[in-house]
Amino acid sequence: LPQHGLTRHGLNKVLRELPRNPLILASLAGVAMSLGAAGQGLGGATGAVILLLAGAATPLALLATGAELDLRLLISRPGLLMMACVGKLLLLPGLTWVLGWWIGADPVALAAAVVLMACPAAVASGPMARQLGGDEALAAAIIVATTIMAPLTLVLWLMLLT
């Protein structure tokens, strides 16, 4: 929306671009393959290649994100980065815990949900910001900052949940 404006036309343009997003298309293809395999997984050479690519995807994405990182952004906008880290790593899991406790969620399921919410910002948010016209430099900085801070906050959440 930032690229197209917060108007009806801007929203329509974003909604037209989303179905062509490679990340969304790949996710839908994976779901379709999963449904086609009826829970049996991918076997043979195809499965081996996909597992090999999947194992390399996250480290390569983090490497690319780190290479794109503008260190000046870390210095010039530390408050914004701190707010993003606190929101993603502390407030979001905290809200998840409170909401789960309030609705009486199973403690194990609630702990799993809190831990998932306490994970770093998704590496896919960088390419998604680029494609949708967002601030990709800020997205890269948030990914790196939350990835660096997440081990500390995850330990905190695990201590609080046990």
- Per the CB < 8 A criterion, the answer to whether 65 and 123 are in contact is yes
Q: State residue 1's pLDDT score.
A: 45
List pLDDT tens digits, range 53-102.
878 877 887 777 777 777 777 777 788 889 999 999 999 999 999 999 99
Q: State residue 4's pLDDT score.
A: 52
Q: DSSP label at 77?
A: -
List pLDDT tens digits, range 22-54.
778 888 887 777 777 655 666 677 778 877 887
Q: Look up residue 125 and give its amino acid.
A: S
Q: State the Cα–Cα distance between residues 115 and 96, nearest whole angstrom.
A: 10
